[in-house]
Structure 1
Amino acid sequence: MEINGVEIKDNYAEGFGIKVTRILVTAATKRLAKIAATEATGYGTSVIGCPAEAGIDCYVPPTETPDGRPGYVIMLCQGSKKQLDHELLERIGMCILTAPTTAAFNVLDDADEELKTGFKLKFFGDGFEDELEIDGRKMHSIPIMSGDFLVESTFGFKAGVAGGNFFILAENQMAGVMAAEAAVDAISAVEGVITPFPGGMVASGSKVGCNNYKFLNASTNEKMCVTLKDKVDSDIREDANGVFEIVIDGIDEESVRAAMKAGIEAACNVPGVLEIDAGNFGGNLGAYKINLQDLF
C-alpha cells in the first residue's frame, strides 16, 4: 500500500492500557495559560523513566471555558491510580498553582473514578481557603499573592490507550524532521490525544529489555538506528538515513487511531519520505494492535 508514493508497511502499532486524566488550565492571557500548561507537562515523555506521560492536548478559547478566559487542556497518563493521584497533586500544586493568574478545571466527563486533588490542595490556604461554584463545578479558592487560585475539587480519570505509534523513514535526517513536524502539527488538531515526547517526536526509539546490560528495563532499538545499519540485522531500508517515531497517547483507541491516520497522511506529503512503519513487541506489551493499513 502507498500514499503519495510512500510505502505503508503491513505492520501494527502495539498500544497498552493506561489511566488518563484531562485538566483545563486557564489564565488571564493565552500566553500565561500556555506557560502553566507547559510547566505542568514537563518531564513526561515515557513511563519507562518518567513519573507520568504528559502533554498539551488542545487550546480552548475564552468562549468555551468555565471562567471565560483562555486555556489549554493537558493530559496526564499513568498506569497506577496511586501514582496518577500523586502526579496530579504535584503538577497542579507545583506548576499551576505557582503560575500567575491560573485556574484548573476537570474536563474528563466520562470518568471511571475521581481523585480529590483540589480538596487536598485547598489546605495550602492555611485556613483562609474558601469554597464556591463556577459553571456548576465545586471549586476551592486558595488565596495567593497574585489573587486567588481556583481549582476544581475532584479530577476524573479513565482507562485510556498509550503507545500508539508509527515510524517515519526518510532519505535524510532533515526530511525526517520536516515530516515528523508535519505529522505532529496534524495530530494536534485531533482532540483527546497527546504526543508526549519533545516536540512530539521520538528520536530515541527503544526496545524492551537490553541485550548486554541486564540492569536496564529498556535500551536503544538498534535495528532502527541509522548509524548501525551495517553492523546489525537492521530493519531500515538501505536508502533511508533519517528515522523518527511518533508516539501517541489518547483517551480511547478511536482517538489514537484518528491521530495516527492524520499524522501519517501529513508525513506522506513531505518530499523525501520513503516509508511508514510501526513498532510492536509481538503482542507481549499491550492489548491494542493498530494495523497501519487498516487506518486507510
Structure 2
Amino acid sequence: MLVNGVKIFDTFAEAFPMRATRLIVTAYNSKWAMYGASSMTGFATSVIACGCEAAVETTLTADETPDSRPGVSVLVFAVSSKELAKQVENRVGQCILTCPSSSVFNGMPEGKEFALAKNLRFFGDGWQISKVIRNKRYWRIPTMDGEFVGEENARYKTAIGGGNILILAEDIQSALHISEIGVGEINNLENVIAPFPGELCDQAQK
C-alpha cells in the first residue's frame, strides 16, 4: 500500500506470549516519581538478557493515582509469572523503595495476584505497619524521609511481547526522523511500551 507517498508492506511481526503487570509509582512530585520509575525500568529492553521488558507507560496526574499525588504508570513483561514476580520484587525493592518520597500501587484492576509490598515490608525491621482500606492491604515502611507505602499485592495478565515495524530509509537522519514521529504515536497508546533506548532498536534479532 502507498500512504502519503510511503510504501508500506503489510506482512507480519514476531510476537510472544508473556505475563505483564501495570504498576503505579507516585512521589512528592512528578520529577521524583519519574526518577524512581526510570531506575526501576533500567536494563529492561529484552527478556533475552534482562529478565523482563519494562518501561514507563505514561505520566499520571494527582487525580489519577491512589494516593492523590503525581505519578507514572509502568508496564513490566516477563516470560512467566514466576519471573515477573521476581523482577518486580527486586526492581521495586531496589529502585522504588529507595527513591525519596515514593510509593507503589497495583495498576491493574483485574488479573491474578502476586506479591508486591508483601515481602518488601520486612525492610521495616519490625516497624512496618499494615492498613486495610476498601478491602486492600497496604504496607507502611519507615524510611529516612518519612515512610514508603506499598500495596500488598499487584495483578498480572497474559500479554503479548514483541511486534515491530521495520523502517528502510536512505540515511540515518531520515530513519531517525521518521522513527521519532512513530514513537510519538506509540506513546499515545494505552497499555503499550517500547522498551529499547529512545524506544527504537537498531539490532535485528534471530
Identity %: 37
Report how far residue 110 of structure 1 moved: 1.9
Give 3-state SS (helix, strand or coil) of 1:206's partner: coil
Deviation track 1:206-231 (CA, whole Å, cap 9, x = no partner) reads 11xxxxxxxxxxxxxxxxxxxxxxxx
Report how far residue 135 of structure 1 moved: 6.2
Once residues 201 and 9 of structure 1 are traced to their aligned partners in structure 2, the CA distance between those partners, rounded to angstroms, is: 19
Give the structure 2 partner of residue 109 of structure 1: 109
Report how far residue 138 of structure 1 moved: 1.7
Report how far residue 14 of structure 1 moved: 2.1
* Moved beyond 6 Å, runs of 4+: none
Once residues 44 and 58 of structure 2 are traced to their aligned partners in structure 1, the CA distance between those partners, rounded to angstroms, is: 17
In structure 2, relative to structure 1, the CA distance for the partners of 1:123 and 1:183 (3 Å cut) is same
Deviation track 1:146-187 (CA, whole Å, cap 9, x = no partner) reads 110000000111100011111111121011111111111111
For structure 1, which runs of at least 5 residues remain unmatched after alignment?
A: 208-296
Give the structure 1 partner of residue 123 of structure 2: 124
- How large is the RMSD of aligned CA atoms in angstroms? 1.1
For structure 2, which runs of at least 5 residues remain unmatched after alignment?
A: none
- Give runs of aligned pairs for residues 132-151 of structure 1, distance below 5 A: 132-133=131-132, 137-151=136-150
Give the structure 2 partner of residue 67 of structure 1: 67
In structure 2, relative to structure 1, the CA distance for the partners of 1:134 and 1:58 (3 Å cut) is farther
The count of aligned residue pairs is: 206
In structure 2, relative to structure 1, the CA distance for the partners of 1:124 and 1:14 (3 Å cut) is same
In the alignment, does 2:172 pair up with 1:173?
yes
Report how far residue 136 of structure 1 moved: 5.5
Once residues 10 and 192 of structure 2 are traced to their aligned partners in structure 1, the CA distance between those partners, rounded to angstroms, is: 24
Give 3-state SS (helix, strand or coil) of 2:126's partner: coil
Deviation track 1:93-150 (CA, whole Å, cap 9, x = no partner) reads 0000000100000011121x11122110111101100012456532100001011000
Give the structure 1 partner of residue 30 of structure 2: 30
Give the structure 1 partner of residue 183 of structure 2: 184
TM-score, normalisation: structure 2: 0.97
Once residues 173 and 137 of structure 1 are traced to their aligned partners in structure 2, the CA distance between those partners, rounded to angstroms, is: 50
Letter in 2 for 1:201: L
Deviation track 1:36-73 (CA, whole Å, cap 9, x = no partner) reads 11000000001111111111111110011111111000
Report how far residue 204 of structure 1 moved: 1.1
- Give runs of aligned pairs for residues 243-254 of structure 1, distance below 5 A: none
In structure 2, relative to structure 1, the CA distance for the partners of 1:8 and 1:54 (3 Å cut) is same
Give 3-state SS (helix, strand or coil) of 1:91's partner: helix
